[in-house]
Amino acid sequence: MGYQVCMTDVQAVGAGLTVSIQPPVNQSWRVTLIGSDQWVGVAPNAVPDVTAAIFDGTLAANVLRSTDTRGWYRRQNLHIDNTNYLRLTNDNVAGANLSWSAELTQYYGTGTSVVKSDVQTVGAAATVDIQPPTTEDWLVTDVGSSTWVGAAPAGVPNMEVDLFDGTNAARILSSVNTRQWEAALKLYISNADYLRLTNSAGAPAQLGWSAELLKYAGAGNSNVRSDVQVAGAGATVDFQPPNGEEWEISMIGASVWAGIAPNQFPNITASIFDGTNASTIQTAGNWMLNGHDLVIHVSNTNYLRVLDAGGAGGNIGISAHLTQRYA
């Protein structure tokens, strides 16, 4: 006889009250959808009248809000365990039936949870790093904050998200721009190349993230290929796997952005390059692949070349992981 994997549920919650999606102490779950029988907003952009927060029993960081559309128009991918779980708030003036779709991802008994989600209090303009130990690779699937910024329904968490190598940073998400906030996040990090979150608010806030362990890599055996490189003025940088490796790139960022907020993009031109010919897949002034999910498969023969389109130089970064080693 097997055991239950479907953790989906519906609960009646009073007006303004909360319910927690909290696995038992020996289980990890992945939440893929949140709903309610009470919705808010103007069709076709109405959303469930719910606020969802990563919660540790004391601190809470919102990843979804009923006043804003950010994150609702995609499948959720929120990793929780008994320590860092989800708290749902019924924002409606009446009682509501709140629901969630979830699956068991790990039964670990006396072992260690694969969930690496967390919430921390961060001072005004201060930072916190999401940095795995040297023996682990993580995948970050969402971020949130207790403070949001922007006019509803276009508000976003009041935070900046950078790929960081300990010295150089390339911006992935900006609190003053809508770019990528609606996309499902797939940010691959290791001890060498990780995420730095900045609280952009003028007061302390709770910053949180959803993350899972990808593998116990062992020192020197990481499968994360995320990287930050310094590009000279008007120069290009290549993200090229060594011979015998293939990568999947899930995000491109830069320290310099162009355009007018809230529609600024990284000031780069990205191309698939075979050593001779280049085919453009992303520019600083267009939405294609700048506001949506990004999946680029590259090899030593056909790889990613990124141009500093601003002409002043800057840091360019990618989120990537190894998909195959065949030599």
Q: Collapsing DSSP states into helix, strand and coil, what is residue 133?
A: coil
Residues 6+ apart with CB under 8 A from 170: 162, 163, 228, 253, 254, 255, 266, 315, 316, 317
Which tokens sit at 64?
A: 């979804």
- Contact between 295 and 277 under an 8 Å Cβ cutoff? The reply is no
Alpha-carbon distance of 32 to 34, in angstroms, equals 7
Q: Collapsing DSSP states into helix, strand and coil, what is residue 111?
A: coil
Residues 6+ apart with CB under 8 A from 190: 132, 136, 137, 138, 217, 222, 224, 226
Residues 246-271: tens digit of each pLDDT? 999 999 999 999 999 999 999 999 99
Query: What percent of the chain clears pLDDT 70, i.e. is strictly above it?
Result: 98
Nearest 5°: the CA angle 262, 321, 86 is 60
Least confident of 10-14, 82-86, 128-132, 292-296: 292-296
Nearest 5°: the CA angle 209, 16, 73 is 45
pLDDT at 28: 97
- Contact between 228 and 168 under an 8 Å Cβ cutoff? The reply is yes
Report the top-level CATH class of 1-109: mainly beta
Least confident of 125-129, 185-189, 218-222, 277-281: 218-222
Alpha-carbon distance of 175 to 201, in angstroms, equals 10
Q: Collapsing DSSP states into helix, strand and coil, what is residue 118?
A: strand
Which tokens sit at 25?
A: 């102490």
First to last CA, the chain: 42
Domain regions of the chain by residue span: 1-109, 225-325
Q: If you average pLDDT over every residue of the chain, what do you get?
A: 95
Q: Can you list the pairs that 168-171 forms with residues at least 24 positions away whose Cβ atoms lie under 8 Å?
A: 168/228, 168/229, 168/230, 168/255, 168/315, 168/317, 169/196, 169/228, 169/255, 169/315, 169/317, 170/228, 170/253, 170/254, 170/255, 170/266, 170/315, 170/316, 170/317, 171/253, 171/254, 171/255, 171/257, 171/266
Estimate the share of the chain in helix, then strand, then coil, as percent rounded to the nearest 5: 0, 50, 50
pLDDT band per the 50, 70, 90 thresholds, residue 1: low
pLDDT band per the 50, 70, 90 thresholds, residue 293: confident
Q: Which of 112, 210, 163 is nearest to 314 (CA)?
A: 163
pLDDT band per the 50, 70, 90 thresholds, residue 197: very high
pLDDT band per the 50, 70, 90 thresholds, residue 120: very high
- Contact between 130 and 188 under an 8 Å Cβ cutoff? The reply is no
- Contact between 63 and 54 under an 8 Å Cβ cutoff? The reply is yes
**CATH pick for 225-325 out of 1.20.120, 2.10.25, 2.60.120, 1.10.357:** 2.60.120
pLDDT at 300: 98
